[in-house]
Chain A
Amino acid sequence: MPELLDKRLVFVTGKGGVGKSTISIALGLAAAARGKRTIVCEVGGQETASRVFRRAEIGFHEVEVAENLWAISIDPDQSLREYLLLQLKVRAMRDMLVRSRIFNYLAAATPGLKELVTIGKIWELAQPNRRVKKAEEYDLVIVDAPATGHGIGFLQTPRTFANIARVGPVHNQATELDRFITDHDTTGVAIVSLPEEMPVNESASLEDSLRDEIGMAVDRVYMNAVYPERFSTSDAEQLEDGLDRADGAARAAVRAALSEHRRCRSQREQLQRLKQAVASPVKTLPFIFKPQLDVPSLERLAGALV
């Protein structure tokens, strides 16, 4: 099976607040640095890339944000319009359909349609022969996927539609999307976790459901924001001794060190738990002591990703 960055499509997924957006962009930087023409896709109106690269809102455009690296924020309504044009081929027909009352109602009310057309657009971006006119091929598409809870439902949409529409164009296209995202040679998955109880549990159950319910293989799990091991157990004992005698800033510093030691120990436990709970290889990423993540710190993170 190809390495993660040698696939055509990579989904970065995990619980909310674990750093999926950061890692998606860092993975994008890593792939771009290897000379791959890469695009990072955000969904659900996210605009992390525009903030990190200090751009105006990117929106539904493929925008070059760094050398070899593009970004897009996928809007379902625009994806749907684009899809309809590809299907109907004639712009006037598409516009007439989009203006009709029936269509508008169905488009707004059909459950799961937004997710389906979003995955449809992701698929289109990942094709060697792009369907969209004058669009150029990407070597790699990285998707900053929705937080789990919504995440599995999101990736399951193509299969659900393939089942519901037993025959016809939607069935065929949904089947093709499902086939593409479950093909381990073309599509990879990276789960992002944190060294805490809940994210570790959720990563393990996410890996299970991706495999059992959708048939996607997880390539790796990133344990994000792991503290450096600054103090040994004997250091900690020495610090405990010193704490009673300390005052002022020195006392605060000793306390901060002891806290760090305890957190670090609890992080190691969670790291062990994660390694036992998931089948995929686990890679740890350092906690970045930066008030606000910038491009240089993301580049540093990119180096640790592969």
Chain B
Amino acid sequence: MATITDIVDGRGICICAGSGGVGKTTTSAALAAGLAIRGKKVAVLTIDPAKRLADSLGLEELGNTPRRVDPTLFDPCGVEMTGELWAMQLDSKATFDELVRKHAPDAETRDRILENRIYRQLSNALAGSQEYMAMEKLFEIHQEGRYDFLVLDTPPSRNALDFLDAPKRLTQFIEGRGMQMFMKPTGFATRVVGRGSSMAMSMLKRVTGLDLLSDLSEFFQAFSGMVDGFRERAKRVSELLGDPATTFVVVCGPQGEPIEEAVYFHRKLVEAQLPVGGVIVNKVHYETEADLTSGEVQADLSELLGDDDLAERVARNFADYQALAERDARNVEHLQRELQPKAVIRIPYLDEDVHDLEALLKIDRYLFASEEQREELAASGAA
């Protein structure tokens, strides 16, 4: 069974993907910190870090470029930071603006886009733009080549596939046949305001109103000037995802639905010929080897605690816990069969919320352990 070290060894980028609410941000941070502790110069690109986790990393005033996390913050936890940990919080609107500045053929086109009302109000709603901007930033930082390793925490979304489709959707938007309509002098723009237009056009006007249609036309026309630059860029960004230096890690929770989503997402990644390293399952209730009936456990507890009432409550709680642990074990087993021989890494359900360095380092201990070591850690109560 592979470990996280096997997954990231020889690679330069790890993309943490998965549906919302499964702990992707925490996992990304723990992975980045773990690699930095082990000597690498690592940058983690995160989308929305928990405030206290961000605070504990000293990230509160972060912009759209990586900042170094103060290595002395790790001292109180008894950990020596031999590498460097850098972190940034992605601002997708600012990234889009940068992209426009970079690819606009001239200042006029640039301003026409940046000042366009539709761009300003809706660029975040552009098909796949948030997801694409995360990749774009990753590509940019990768190009600069200042880090040994990059960890990308993908944007929160219900459908993890949105992320994969993002370059395609943005490229389609840019180079769709429709865009060419806006580039010709006899194209869409003239037909919007011109007379003698087609039936389809007159119906369109009836539905949208002329005013909105002109604005949309202006918006698309402004973009059409950037087709070549954008297309080339999106192609290279897309290639980076399939690069041998890149690995995907799917993050999920132990319940039935998140596991099914992880299985589905893993298949899609494989279909897309993208390199998947493995799956990290967060908040797992580890199973305890117990061959006693619950009545026997309760009798043992009564004797141990000298309190029948407490023993009964402890036994009932244990039965509830075991039911969840059995479910988790079943789900993880199903996942493992699906993924073989790739790694399935189980992170236990910790007693406390992960929002400080100490808790992050607990995750780190499990993340970088072998499967046997993880079992031992869990059995010794190191959660």
- Interface bits A128-160 vs B (CB < 8 Å: 1, else 0): 000000000000000000111110010001001
- Interface bits A248-270 vs B (CB < 8 Å: 1, else 0): 11101111110110110010001
Q: Are A250 and B297 in contact (CB under 8 A)?
A: yes
Q: Are B122 and A160 in contact (CB under 8 A)?
A: yes
Q: Are A164 and B301 in contact (CB under 8 A)?
A: no
Q: Are A17 and B203 in contact (CB under 8 A)?
A: no
Say yes or no for B21: interface residue by CB 8 A criterion: yes
Query: SS class of chain B's interface: helix, strand, loop or mixed?
Result: helix
Cα separation A103 to B207 with both chains bound (whole Å) = 11
Say yes or no for A6: interface residue by CB 8 A criterion: no
Q: Are B127 and A257 in contact (CB under 8 A)?
A: no
Q: Are B159 and A266 in contact (CB under 8 A)?
A: no
Q: Are A165 and B209 in contact (CB under 8 A)?
A: yes
Q: A102-B188, A103-B204, A109-B220 are known contacts. Are A171 and B305 too (CB-CB below 8 A)?
A: no
Say yes or no for A106: interface residue by CB 8 A criterion: yes
Interface residue from B118, B156, B296, B383 paired with A147 (Cβ < 8 Å): B156
Stretch with Cβ within 8 A of B (4 or more), from A32-40, A53-61, A237-245? A237-245
Say yes or no for A18: interface residue by CB 8 A criterion: yes
Say yes or no for B199: interface residue by CB 8 A criterion: yes
Q: Which residue of B lies closest to A291 (CB)?
A: B327
Cα separation A270 to B355 with both chains bound (whole Å) = 13
Say yes or no for A233: interface residue by CB 8 A criterion: no
Q: Are B292 and A249 in contact (CB under 8 A)?
A: yes
Say yes or no for A304: interface residue by CB 8 A criterion: no
Q: Are A262 and B352 in contact (CB under 8 A)?
A: yes
Residues of B within 8 A of A291 (CB): 256, 323-324, 326-327
Interface residue from B25, B198, B318 paired with A253 (Cβ < 8 Å): B318
Cα separation A153 to B126 with both chains bound (whole Å) = 12
Q: Are A160 and B172 in contact (CB under 8 A)?
A: no
Interface residue from B129, B178, B211, B253 paired with A101 (Cβ < 8 Å): B178
Residues of B within 8 A of A253 (CB): 297, 301, 314-315, 317-318
Stretch with Cβ within 8 A of B (4 or more), from A67-75, A195-203, A206-214, A278-286? A195-203
Q: Which residue of A lies closest to B192 (CB)?
A: A102
Cα separation A291 to B323 with both chains bound (whole Å) = 7
Q: Are B310 and A149 in contact (CB under 8 A)?
A: no
Q: Are B50 and A197 in contact (CB under 8 A)?
A: yes
Cα separation A235 to B301 with both chains bound (whole Å) = 13
Q: Are A266 and B158 in contact (CB under 8 A)?
A: no
Cα separation A146 to B156 with both chains bound (whole Å) = 10
Say yes or no for A305: interface residue by CB 8 A criterion: no
Q: Are A255 and B206 in contact (CB under 8 A)?
A: no
Say yes or no for A112: interface residue by CB 8 A criterion: yes
Residues of A within 8 A of B61 (CB): none
Q: Are A45 and B21 in contact (CB under 8 A)?
A: no
Q: Are A157 and B208 in contact (CB under 8 A)?
A: no
Cα separation A118 to B117 with both chains bound (whole Å) = 22
Q: Are B50 and A201 in contact (CB under 8 A)?
A: yes
Q: A106-B204, A160-B121, A292-B256 are known contacts. Are A18 and B21 too (CB-CB below 8 A)?
A: yes
Residues of B within 8 A of A292 (CB): 256, 327
Query: SS class of chain A's interface: helix, strand, loop or mixed?
Result: helix
Q: Are A168 and B156 in contact (CB under 8 A)?
A: no
Cα separation A136 to B301 with both chains bound (whole Å) = 60
Residues of A within 8 A of B140 (CB): none
Q: A16-B20, A170-B209 are known contacts. Are A93 and B304 too (CB-CB below 8 A)?
A: no
Residues of B within 8 A of A153 (CB): 124-125
A11 to chain B, nearest CB (A): 15
Say yes or no for B200: interface residue by CB 8 A criterion: yes
Q: Are A102 and B211 in contact (CB under 8 A)?
A: no
Q: Are A96 and B212 in contact (CB under 8 A)?
A: no
Say yes or no for B22: interface residue by CB 8 A criterion: yes
Interface residue from A163, A238, A256 paired with B310 (Cβ < 8 Å): A238
Say yes or no for A231: interface residue by CB 8 A criterion: yes
- Interface bits A165-189 vs B (CB < 8 Å: 1, else 0): 1111111000000000000000000
Q: Are B127 and A108 in contact (CB under 8 A)?
A: yes
Residues of A within 8 A of B296 (CB): 249
B77 to chain A, nearest CB (A): 19
Q: Which residue of B lies closest to A148 (CB)?
A: B156
Say yes or no for A111: interface residue by CB 8 A criterion: yes
Q: Are A112 and B351 in contact (CB under 8 A)?
A: no
A275 to chain B, nearest CB (A): 17
- Interface bits B252-267 vs A (CB < 8 Å: 1, else 0): 0100101000000000
Cα separation A105 to B155 with both chains bound (whole Å) = 26
Q: Are A266 and B353 in contact (CB under 8 A)?
A: yes
Residues of B within 8 A of A245 (CB): 304
Cα separation A245 to B310 with both chains bound (whole Å) = 16
A192 to chain B, nearest CB (A): 11
B75 to chain A, nearest CB (A): 23
Residues of A within 8 A of B291 (CB): 249
Q: A147-B156, A169-B207 are known contacts. Are A17 and B297 too (CB-CB below 8 A)?
A: no
**Which one of A110, A153, A230, A248 has the highest number of Cβ atoms from chain B below 10 Å of its Cβ?**
A110
- Interface bits B334-372 vs A (CB < 8 Å: 1, else 0): 000000000000000001110100000000000000000
Contacts A166-B211, A170-B212, A249-B292 supplied; 7 other A-B pairs, CB < 8 Å: A108-B176, A147-B21, A147-B158, A168-B211, A253-B314, A256-B314, A291-B323
**A-B pairs with lowest CB-CB distance, top 3:** A17-B21, A16-B20, A168-B209
A sample of 19 inter-chain contacts (CB < 8 A) reads A84-B207, A100-B200, A103-B200, A103-B204, A108-B178, A109-B173, A112-B122, A149-B47, A149-B156, A164-B215, A166-B211, A169-B207, A197-B53, A197-B355, A230-B316, A250-B304, A254-B301, A289-B320, A291-B323
